[in-house]
Structure 1
Amino acid sequence: MIRFEDVSVTYDGAPEPTVRGIDFEVPEGELVLLAGPSGVGKSTVLGAVSGLVPHFTGGTLRGRVTVAGRDTRTHKPRELADVVGTVGQDPLSHFVTDTVEDELAYGMESLGLAPDVMRRRVEETLDLLGLAGLRDRPIATLSGGQQQRVAIGSVLTPHPGVLVLDEPTSALDPAAAEEVLAVLQRLVHDLGTTVLMAEHRLERVIQYADQVVLLPSPGAPPILGDPAEVMAVSPVYPPVVALGRLAGWSPLPLTVRDARRRAADLKLQLENAAPEGRGEPRDKPQPPRTRKHSEPPTPVGAAHVQALSVTRARVQALHHITLTITPGETIALMGRNGAGKSTLLNSLVGLVKPSSGTVRLGEATPHRTAPKDLVRKVGLVPQEPRDLLYADTVAAECAAADQDAGADPGTCRALVTELLPGVTDDTHPRDLSEGQRLALALAVVLTARPPLLLLDEPTRGLDYAAKARLVAVLRALAAEGHAIVLATHDVELAAELADRVVLLAEGEVIADGPTADIVVSSPSFAPQVTKILAPQHWLTVPQVRAALEETAR
């Protein structure tokens, strides 16, 4: 169905091709996973299938890409629209209408389908993706994950023969991601749809793949094969594979179920060891004693939310939230899409005014504090990093960040080098991958070294190596006393980094406690290692490795 024949793509002004030697075939009715580190050209390969590369992006495509027999060099994207449905990393750039139902119908209207067919397919898609309750909602009022489901739904309704998906689960909560992947599997198995998907969260998708195409490094030819065989040599792999490599299992398991069947000996080795690290109780600064007839001052670098309620567009986004964040603490905000995580972060940074209740950062009230003063108290890295990036080069972004923060020249650039090794000063932010843009935005925010750092889906678009670098930076900041709050659907990140997990549902806090206590008891938010080694309370592969090394001494 999809055929790449010795394809290379070189963008205008680039000294080297972004991808080269791409030569593989995706058979009809298979789900093929495109994997590899950030920046190796996965989005370029996907864009070549829909014709966006090079017709929209520019540059030179050598070789040949055919979809259902159509050559993408001679067929523009609109001439492939009846065959290929595409969802990119950024759902917002995908939308052309205002409401959910209109967006689902738009693609079919463009193809001239009959109204009764359109109505039936819209209803089917609303049910498939759990969007029925949102059908009349303006898209602008939806959470990032809800928008991503709408974007996926809008390409499903025309029933294309080929689906091209770039990070389709990156903004989805675990339950919603499973629903979307189950829908894709049903399309592949029952309808013969061909799916080519790029995804960094391999723990979610590897079990669904018929084949894996690995791009191991920039410019390197792809490796195509059985998922287990490719994972054995891949530089990126999920925790279940990491645990299998550590334990010496062969063939490597790709699912929690397969790993549990082999874990008996490993559990015996770990039986008398105790997990150390994330989620363990530790000493924290104590707030001052309450003074009679007055509230105590909040410590510098801390935040206190009291009975916070927020109503946005007649929707109750938050309801009586009370939360204290102490210096040096790392908190993971978790919960399904639309639970209120981003609204809570926006309230802490002053972008949203409380309907009732209070938010305090030390002695400051965020929505009443001037931005130039607030930037030294709290920093937010939003879901869409491009919202913070406006200069033409990485160097200009860094210079502006240094100036705005009153930092020494080169401060931001040093952070970029740590988070994004190999990115040059003259690179335009728009030429970075989604994960690379996020890392640049994080460096811009960290330049001011705010006592409170907020991150909204910080691992979206990051591979495992980039995530490890991010974790190292955030741990160092926490050790220096910075408070960190991250809204995330990445259960592996929460297990590795967070001291505490706060679960939200329908705008309310439903659980708040040490990471180990919250995630171990949750089937939805438990990491893979926890599920494999239950009832033992292990969270991450590094914990297991450290314990095995200790017992071997």
Structure 2
Amino acid sequence: MVTMAPPVLSASIEAFSYHGDDAPVLHQAALAVHSGTLTAVLGGSGSGKTTLGKLLAGWLRPGHAGTLTGSLALGADRLEFHGSPEDPLINPAAWSHRVGFVPQDAAAMLSTVRATVAEELAFGLESRGMARDDMRREVARTADLAGLAGLLDRDPATLSGGEQRRLALGCAVITGPEVLILDEPLASLDRTGTGEVLHLVRALLEAGTAVLVLSQAADRLAQAASHWTVLDGGTVTSTGSPKQLAGSAALEASGVMAPGLQYSGTRRLPLTPATGRPDAAGILELSGVCFGYAPVSKMLRDRGRAVEPGPVREEQVLRNLDLTVQPGEVVAITGPNGAGKSTLLKHFSGLLQPTSGDVRICGNNIAGSPVGMVAASVGLLFQHPGDQLFERTVLREVCFGLRDLHSRRADARAERGRGRLRALLAGTWSRPGTARLSRDDAEAKALEALAAVGLAASAGEHPAELSASRQRLLALATVLARGPALLVLDEPTVGLDRHGLLLLRAAVDDAAARGAGVVFVTHDQAYAWDHAHRVLELSGGRLREQRA
């Protein structure tokens, strides 16, 4: 008889609640992970996956962030918690040496002060006093494993969302933790990036590392796991192998995107005179758009770093792009990580200006227009929803762009510096003659938008208290409430469970039905073909129409 070694990390949670909350986020939840094994915790939005992961990783400390009744064990060290002041304290520094964690918002774990990817990877090794030559070897080895070898000289701030996720993974791996916890690790990754993460995880398992994946979808990584735990409403409802649980009632009830599940039963067809307005003037028109970023050598030189002398050439991201989006048309843009998809979307709202070419919204060239004025016609959902949330309640967040919360003078100040973002979200920057809604009308419209994304009951909550997927739906509501002529969505499906995807589909359908143009970026090819009239690929700086 084979006896399994004791788990390297385990939890037995009777209840965990955040300070100030009456209802527990987790209750009757137990989990154990073993060295050299891949375990997946699957659950829908708000199921408690991220809270469980942060507790296991030491990012949430019982007694500090909330109250825990139960136990946590790391190797031979077992801590018992009774929800009292006498409970033991987790040492986050010591815990993090043994348990690595990559959150959903991978960029949040990057230092933001390192000039290159190589320096970011080395950061954790420097803090441990590793010799410089050994550090260089570890950086090169980890970069190869994480698919970062070609990005070592890049500024982390210029990486795409998928590239930043791989960098965060590399930063967590390079210090050699016994356990690695990954929250939605395949989000925003293209097929190549997904393959690189799978390769890295296999290498870690072979080296004896325990890997725990938290996901709302039974994706390729989850399907490679030896054990699944299904979490629903903070409670473990089922455990077993993927073969045992795939298609089970517990998995279906949890809202998890099951293997092979299709988004809908019908595909959109290209617009025709009978189904749309293909001959109408475009809501969005790009003509010969080109754009490039300053190269790494210039950024390093600007920061006082020593670089090889030579000419500074702009790195072209967009090359002579032409595109027209018609009223009622839904267009998907796909392409590899780092292709410039998010960069392209920022041109639609005026956040970026092309180095040459024109961008027209509803027939108007937006060159030189204030960002907030452009936003009156363009609703932009950022790739990271937290970037556009700043109010005290969910309701106030949606109301922000619907009524005059600031004087014209304050709006003018907002257009400078960081307030430029607020001007974008308000979409009403100093427009002469613009009538803003009364408080009551704004709140009614905001509640309607919240109902459309399933958040009406959360109107009084703080946005920071929402799960990542619900934050994405809230950010979507802030955009929908203004009824823009052009709806621009950057990776809108990331982190959404099956119910969230249905809400997203309904929102896109409604926007298109009222005549808005919709453009969304995604790495999910099945979603793109299922939801768009046209699918375009951005690669090598050029847009190419894809055929089914």
Flag whether TM exceeds 0.5 (same fold).
Answer: yes
Aligned to 1:168: 185
Aligned counterpart for 2:104 among listed residues 89, 95, 112: 89
Aligned to 2:3: none
- Greater displacement, 1-10 / 48-57: 48-57
Aligned to 1:285: 277
Note if contact 1:349-1:367 (Cα within 8 Å) is conserved in structure 2.
Answer: no
- Cα deviation code 1:119-159 (max 9, x no counterpart): 21211111122212211111111111111111000111111
Note if contact 1:317-1:506 (Cα within 8 Å) is conserved in structure 2.
Answer: yes
> Partners in 2 of 1:37 and 1:76 — Cα distance?
30
Alignment of 1:491-510 (within 5 A): 491-509=525-543
Q: What's the offset of the Cα at 1:42?
A: 0.5
- Cα deviation code 1:183-220 (max 9, x no counterpart): 112211x111101111224233232111111112x233
What SS does the corresponding residue of 2:167 show, helix, strand or coil?
helix
What SS does the corresponding residue of 2:97 show, helix, strand or coil?
coil
What SS does the corresponding residue of 1:401 show, helix, strand or coil?
coil
Aligned to 2:336: 336
Aligned to 1:385: 385
Question: What root-mean-square deviation, in Å, do the aligned CA atoms of Structure 1 and Structure 2 show?
Answer: 2.1
Note if contact 2:271-2:329 (Cα within 8 Å) is conserved in structure 1.
Answer: no
> Partners in 1 of 2:489 and 2:534 — Cα distance?
15
Aligned to 1:45: 52
- Greater displacement, 142-151 / 69-78: 69-78
What SS does the corresponding residue of 1:53 show, helix, strand or coil?
coil
Name the amino acid aligned to 1:223: S
Q: What's the offset of the Cα at 1:312?
A: 1.6
Aligned length: 471
> Partners in 1 of 2:343 and 2:381 — Cα distance?
13
Alignment of 1:149-164 (within 5 A): 149-164=166-181
Kindly tell me: are residues 422 and 364 of structure 1, through their superposed partners in 2, closer, same or farther at Cα, counting changes over 3 Å?
A: closer
Aligned to 2:472: 438
> Partners in 1 of 2:293 and 2:63 — Cα distance?
36
Note if contact 1:24-1:224 (Cα within 8 Å) is conserved in structure 2.
Answer: no
Note if contact 1:53-1:61 (Cα within 8 Å) is conserved in structure 2.
Answer: no
Aligned to 1:121: 138
Aligned to 2:414: none
Aligned counterpart for 1:144 among listed residues 151, 161, 185: 161
Aligned to 1:526: none
- Greater displacement, 3-12 / 200-209: 200-209
> Partners in 2 of 1:31 and 1:114 — Cα distance?
32
Aligned to 2:65: 58
> Partners in 1 of 2:496 and 2:203 — Cα distance?
28
Q: What's the offset of the Cα at 1:53?
A: 1.2
What SS does the corresponding residue of 2:236 show, helix, strand or coil?
coil
Name the amino acid aligned to 2:268: R
More helix by share: 1
Aligned to 2:325: 325
Aligned to 1:512: 545
Give the structure-1-normalised TM-score. 0.81
> Partners in 1 of 2:476 and 2:22 — Cα distance?
27
Kindly tell me: are residues 316 and 469 of structure 1, through their superposed partners in 2, closer, same or farther at Cα, counting changes over 3 Å?
A: same
Note if contact 1:347-1:366 (Cα within 8 Å) is conserved in structure 2.
Answer: no
**1:208 and 2:224 matched:** yes
> Percent identity of the aligned residues?
33
Aligned counterpart for 1:178 among listed residues 178, 195, 204: 195
Aligned to 1:221: 236
Q: What's the offset of the Cα at 1:30?
A: 1.0
Kindly tell me: are residues 473 and 89 of structure 1, through their superposed partners in 2, closer, same or farther at Cα, counting changes over 3 Å?
A: same
> Partners in 2 of 1:223 and 1:65 — Cα distance?
20
> Partners in 2 of 1:103 and 1:441 — Cα distance?
30
Aligned to 1:350: 350
**1:452 and 2:519 matched:** no
Aligned counterpart for 1:69 among listed residues 69, 72, 76: 76
Q: What's the offset of the Cα at 1:352?
A: 0.4
Aligned to 1:31: 38
**1:483 and 2:517 matched:** yes
Kindly tell me: are residues 41 and 215 of structure 1, through their superposed partners in 2, closer, same or farther at Cα, counting changes over 3 Å?
A: same
Task: Give ranges in structure 2 of 5+ residues lacking alignment.
Answer: 1-7, 80-87, 296-314, 404-425, 428-435
Name the amino acid aligned to 2:230: L
Q: What's the offset of the Cα at 1:378?
A: 0.8
Aligned to 2:498: 464
Kindly tell me: are residues 325 and 241 of structure 1, through their superposed partners in 2, closer, same or farther at Cα, counting changes over 3 Å?
A: closer
Aligned to 2:288: 307
Q: What's the offset of the Cα at 1:223?
A: 2.0
> Partners in 2 of 1:203 and 1:42 — Cα distance?
16
Q: What's the offset of the Cα at 1:493?
A: 1.9
Task: Give ranges in structure 1 of 5+ residues lacking alignment.
Answer: 247-274, 289-297, 519-553
Kindly tell me: are residues 355 and 43 of structure 1, through their superposed partners in 2, closer, same or farther at Cα, counting changes over 3 Å?
A: same
Aligned counterpart for 1:135 among listed residues 147, 152, 159: 152
**1:79 and 2:89 matched:** no
Aligned to 1:396: 396
Q: What's the offset of the Cα at 1:280?
A: 4.9
Q: What's the offset of the Cα at 1:457?
A: 0.6
> Partners in 1 of 2:468 and 2:63 — Cα distance?
18
